[in-house]
């Protein structure tokens, strides 16, 4: 499958906005203090000496488009680096409407890998996929008080259909709790109809003011699970089960050591009794909320009258959950693992796990090298490895090294004339730069090579997780006073400390430090605590951090 990916070649992003679309501007996706050369194009990487040659057309164009441009070093400007990687690794592009994003094939393939894994897990845990319309009558949104408050400012509204002004405005779904409850009300009658457990993969729209590719866009893709239960205990169990599915996914597939926990009242979902979250530490140490699971209690069932007859013949409102992960997670992967050479993908989510690059100078070396490279590719492919052979003639091996490093491919296999003679290959790890990550003389013999490659992919998968875990733990500071908290936040770290103060105190911390409570983590220390803000007893620690 992956081998047949035909990727559009390097794009020229940031071409001048079309005349008809004045509102597509530089400012659309905030870039901090590092203005992008507006017409820059082409590609080059930091980590190696070879600079990719431009094709004739490009070289010609570039004269009028600006200089060939390197990726901003991560340490210099994290945000500029992030946007550069998205451009150079061909993950996404800007849509014509402010704040929208085109997900390009390579970025979409990462999303597909996420879908493939989660879709199986959702079905294993008893959920069925289905599809709800995206147009929701405006009146629905108004039915649940805190929901309307949370979402009203972000709505896109359809007011004209088929050439006519509509009697009632339609909301383009920002999330589907309201329409789901409207339908559940028609499907749920008896306790025998419960639990009702469904999921949908869909697009959603939120009119965000500050947008950033993958992290916060006007339209994004996600899955949203919705369930209804007969008891509050079942709903709570479900909400916890799903945050657990997300947590395992983050650790085992994405190699992201998220911290799972409960949101504060201030931070929870508009309409939920309790929101569980997985919080990930990005490379700049800001937190990313990477997935949430909500115990909705009876808030929506009361607003929509979603009732069932229990075993004693009494009418009761159902207890509900909803939970979601979105294309934002792709942004999380970029910002967790990437480095100055570009993207670095965990092998289990990588659309291409191994790139094979033939190396030859003389024409008479070509056929031997290409044929060996092809055999290696086919052997790995039939062993279930996602492998691609880059045998294009227009690019030098050095250019290809950079290009596939930029794309974050975990392993590179190099094959030259000498390797062909010795029946061996060179294998380089994306996660260990330079010579240290390079092993010579791995046998081409299919069984040996397959075992070696699979082993290395596993090693990279654990190694990425391990590395990020160390980074995370080094950047979480245990604090016992507000001063310590402020100090930790000002150093760009996460602060973890006992908390039992008021919502007002929480908002004050946000105002004064820019940090919010990311969660009360499930993993709690055992000893008794004193609230870092008030000195009162506190039964839990909370984690504070600045976030996306």
Applying the rule CB under 8 A, the residues between 257 and 296 that interact with its own copies are none
Q: Does position 8 bind its own copies by CB under 8 A? A: yes
Site for its own copies in 104-133 (CB under 8 A): 104-105, 107-109, 111-112, 120, 123-124, 126-133
Count Cβ atoms within 10 A of the Cβ of residue 534 and give its class: 0-12 exposed, 13-18 middle, 19 or more buried: middle
Q: Which residue has the tokens 């309201």?
A: 178
Q: Are strands 259-262 and 274-281 parallel, antiparallel or unpaired?
A: antiparallel
Q: Does position 54 bind its own copies by CB under 8 A? A: no
Q: Does position 1 bind its own copies by CB under 8 A? A: yes
- The least CB distance from residue 222 to its own copies, in Å, is 12
Residue in 13, 288, 344, 465 binding its own copies, rule: CB under 8 A: 13
Site for its own copies in 14-43 (CB under 8 A): 15, 18, 20-21, 23
- The least CB distance from residue 273 to its own copies, in Å, is 24
DSSP, collapsed to helix, strand or coil, labels residue 387 as: strand
Choose one: 54-62, 352-360, 477-485, 510-518; the region binding its own copies (CB under 8 A): 54-62
Shorter beta-carbon distance to its own copies: residue 3 or 51: 3
Shorter beta-carbon distance to its own copies: residue 378 or 540: 378
Burial annotation 443-471 (CB, 10 A radius, 16+ → b, else e):
ebeeeebbebbbebbeebbebbbebbeee
Taking residue 167's Cβ as centre, other Cβ atoms within 10 Å add up to 6
d(CA 460, CA 448): 18
Shorter beta-carbon distance to its own copies: residue 160 or 507: 160
| Cis before 433 (ω within 30) | no
- The least CB distance from residue 544 to its own copies, in Å, is 29
One DSSP character per residue, 232-251 reads HHHHHHHHHHHHHHHHHIII
DSSP, collapsed to helix, strand or coil, labels residue 431 as: coil
- The least CB distance from residue 255 to its own copies, in Å, is 24
Q: Is 313 left (phi over 0), alpha (psi -120 to 50) or beta?
A: left
Shorter beta-carbon distance to its own copies: residue 67 or 445: 67
Shorter beta-carbon distance to its own copies: residue 132 or 544: 132
Site for its own copies in 61-100 (CB under 8 A): 61, 93, 95-97, 100
Find all residues with CB under 8 Å of 419, minimum gap 6, and list them.
372, 425, 426, 444
Site for its own copies in 209-238 (CB under 8 A): 209, 218-219, 221
Shorter beta-carbon distance to its own copies: residue 384 or 535: 384
Sign of the CA dihedral running 83, 87, 90, 94:
positive
DSSP, collapsed to helix, strand or coil, labels residue 189 as: coil
d(CA 414, CA 401): 9
Q: Does position 4 bind its own copies by CB under 8 A? A: yes
- How far is the CA of 293 from the CAs of 219, 248, 503, in angstroms? 20, 14, 21
Site for its own copies in 180-199 (CB under 8 A): 182-183, 186-190, 192-193, 195-198
d(CA 113, CA 354): 16
d(CA 441, CA 524): 48
Residue in 102, 432, 447, 470 binding its own copies, rule: CB under 8 A: 102
Q: Does position 157 bind its own copies by CB under 8 A? A: yes
- The least CB distance from residue 184 to its own copies, in Å, is 8
Site for its own copies in 366-395 (CB under 8 A): 394
Q: How many residues line the site for its own copies (CB under 8 A)?
A: 92
- The least CB distance from residue 85 to its own copies, in Å, is 18
Site for its own copies in 328-357 (CB under 8 A): none
Shorter beta-carbon distance to its own copies: residue 160 or 448: 160
> CA 414, 371, 409: angle at the middle one, nearest 5?
35
- The least CB distance from residue 457 to its own copies, in Å, is 22
- The least CB distance from residue 479 to its own copies, in Å, is 37
- The least CB distance from residue 91 to its own copies, in Å, is 10
Residue in 152, 375, 481, 547 binding its own copies, rule: CB under 8 A: 152
């Amino acid at each position: 499958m992956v081998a047949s990916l035909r990727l559009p070649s390097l794009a020229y992003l940031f071409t001048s906005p079309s005349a008809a679309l004045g509102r597509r501007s530089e400012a659309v996706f905030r870039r901090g203090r590092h203005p992008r050369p507006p017409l820059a194009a082409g590609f080059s990487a930091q980590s190696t000496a070879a600079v990719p040659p431009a094709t004739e057309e490009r070289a010609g164009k570039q004269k009028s488009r600006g200089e060939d441009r390197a990726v901003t070093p991560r340490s210099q400007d994290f945000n500029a680096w992030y946007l550069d990687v998205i451009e150079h690794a061909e993950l996404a592009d800007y849509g014509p409407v402010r704040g929208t994003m085109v997900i390009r094939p390579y970025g979409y393939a990462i999303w597909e890998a996420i879908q493939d894994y989660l879709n199986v897990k959702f079905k294993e845990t008893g959920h069925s996929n289905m599809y709800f319309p995206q147009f929701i009558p405006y009146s629905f949104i108004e039915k649940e008080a805190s929901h309307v408050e949370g979402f009203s400012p972000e709505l896109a509204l359809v007011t004209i259909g088929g050439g006519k002004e509509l009697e009632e405005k339609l909301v383009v779904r920002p999330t589907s709790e309201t329409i789901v409850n409207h339908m559940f009300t028609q499907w749920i009658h008896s306790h025998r109809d419960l639990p009702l457990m469904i999921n949908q993969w869909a697009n959603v729209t939120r009119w965000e003011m500050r947008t950033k590719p993958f992290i916060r866009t006007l339209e994004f893709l996600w899955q949203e699970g919705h369930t209804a239960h007969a008891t509050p205990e079942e709903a709570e169990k479900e909400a916890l089960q799903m945050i657990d599915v997300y947590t395992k996914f983050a650790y085992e597939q994405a190699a992201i050591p998220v911290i799972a926990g409960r949101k504060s009242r201030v931070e929870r979902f508009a309409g939920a009794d309790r929101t569980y979250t997985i919080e990930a530490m990005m490379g700049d140490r800001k937190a990313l909320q990477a997935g949430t699971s909500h115990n909705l209690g009876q808030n929506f069932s009361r607003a929509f009258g979603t009732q069932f007859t229990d075993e004693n013949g009494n009418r009761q409102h159902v207890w509900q959950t909803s939970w979601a992960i979105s294309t934002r997670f792709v942004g999380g992967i970029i910002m967790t693992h990437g480095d100055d050479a570009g993207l670095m993908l965990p092998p289990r989510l990588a659309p291409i796990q191994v790139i094979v690059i033939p190396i030859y100078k003389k024409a008479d070396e070509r056929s031997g090298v290409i044929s060996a490279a092809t055999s290696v590719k086919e052997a790995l492919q039939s062993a279930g490895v996602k492998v691609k052979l880059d045998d294009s003639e227009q690019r030098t091996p050095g250019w290809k090294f950079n290009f596939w490093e930029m794309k974050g491919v975990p392993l590179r296999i190099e094959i030259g004339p000498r390797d062909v003679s010795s029946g061996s290959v060179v294998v380089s790890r994306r996660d260990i730069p330079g010579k240290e990550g390079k092993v010579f003389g791995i046998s081409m013999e299919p069984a040996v090579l397959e075992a070696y490659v699979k082993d290395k992919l596993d090693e990279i998968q654990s190694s990425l997780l391990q590395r990020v875990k160390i980074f995370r733990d080094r950047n979480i500071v245990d604090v016992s006073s507000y001063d310590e908290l402020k100090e930790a936040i000002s150093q760009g770290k996460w602060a973890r400390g006992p908390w039992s103060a008021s919502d007002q105190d929480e908002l004050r911390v946000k105002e004064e430090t820019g940090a919010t409570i990311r969660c009360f983590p499930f993993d709690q220390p055992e000893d008794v605590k004193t609230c870092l803000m008030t000195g009162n007893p506190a039964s839990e620690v909370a984690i504070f951090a600045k976030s996306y």
